[in-house]
Chain A
Amino acid sequence: GNSVTQMEGPVTLSEEAFLTINCTYTATGYPSLFWYVQYPGEGLQLLLKATKADDKGSNKGFEATYRKETTSFHLEKGSVQVSDSAVYFCALRGGSEKLVFGKGTKLTVNP
């Protein structure tokens, strides 16, 4: 079945540091890939998505590229801010109606 593996946290960075959160997946066919963000005390919000190989999703300075050859969708940001502190979830959706989530990575950014 489909599955998502993302790097376990927590991740702690200083402001303006470079961020990478790794995400790899196993899926049949051609899934769409998503990154969701959950700020403290809130539900999940879509951060970015990519629906086919080599697509790059981007939003709020975050980027992720759909790499079919390495089955990866790593999240990157060049310069993190304190306000980026949150939990980040990688997810995929294949032909069914369901999303498959990774376990989440907690990011803390210190000033």
Chain B
Amino acid sequence: DVKVTQSSRYLVKRTGEKVFLECVQDMDHENMFWYRQDPGLGLRLIYFSYDVKMKEKGDIPEGYSVSREKKERFSLILESASTNQTSMYLCASTPAGAGLAALYEQYFGPGTRLTVT
């Protein structure tokens, strides 16, 4: 079974703090993703990575950065947390598939509910 784990289920941080959200997958997937989920807005892609040390901006990268030093681990960093970053954060992974990419679903972690006060 594919397993995607996230370091925390619930996190409370103060405005201005630096926040690290960690995601680990155990299926040797090339691609990893970070989303945020907000009521009425669905899932929005923050960043994704298609290889170690490679990253691409998603739809809402402002205020976030990412790090991928090892294939199995993808970190989301909030450099200076703000209250508008209070949200549910979801990590996902999928195999790469050049030409077959469309066949593969994404596997999601359980999510981290972050509250910034």
Contact surface of A with B, Cβ cutoff 8 Å: 30-32, 34, 36, 42-46, 49, 51, 89, 93-99, 101-104
Q: Is the interface of A mostly helix, strand, loop or mixed?
A: loop
Contact surface of B with A, Cβ cutoff 8 Å: 4, 31, 33, 40-43, 45, 48, 50, 58, 90, 92, 94, 96, 99, 101-111
Assuming A31-B102, A89-B43, A93-B102, is B108 touching A98 (CB within 8 A)? no
Per the bound structure, the CA–CA distance linking A44 and B103 in Å amounts to: 18
Assuming A95-B102, A98-B48, is B41 touching A42 (CB within 8 A)? no
Per the bound structure, the CA–CA distance linking A58 and B30 in Å amounts to: 27
A44: chain B residues within 8 A (beta carbon):
43, 90, 92, 108
Assuming A43-B109, A95-B102, is B42 touching A101 (CB within 8 A)? yes
A93: chain B residues within 8 A (beta carbon):
101-102, 104-105
Nearest A residue to B59 via CB reads: A98
B110: chain A residues within 8 A (beta carbon):
42-43
Assuming A43-B109, A43-B111, is B90 touching A98 (CB within 8 A)? no
Least CB distance, A30 to chain B, in whole angstroms: 7
Least CB distance, A5 to chain B, in whole angstroms: 11
Assuming A42-B110, A43-B90, A43-B109, is B45 touching A98 (CB within 8 A)? yes
Per the bound structure, the CA–CA distance linking A42 and B111 in Å amounts to: 7
Assuming A45-B108, A97-B31, is B41 touching A103 (CB within 8 A)? yes
Selected A-B contacts with CB under 8 Å, 26 pairs: A30-B102, A31-B102, A32-B103, A42-B110, A43-B4, A46-B107, A49-B105, A51-B102, A51-B103, A93-B101, A93-B102, A93-B105, A94-B102, A95-B102, A96-B101, A97-B50, A97-B94, A98-B33, A98-B48, A98-B58, A99-B106, A101-B42, A102-B42, A103-B40, A103-B42, A104-B43
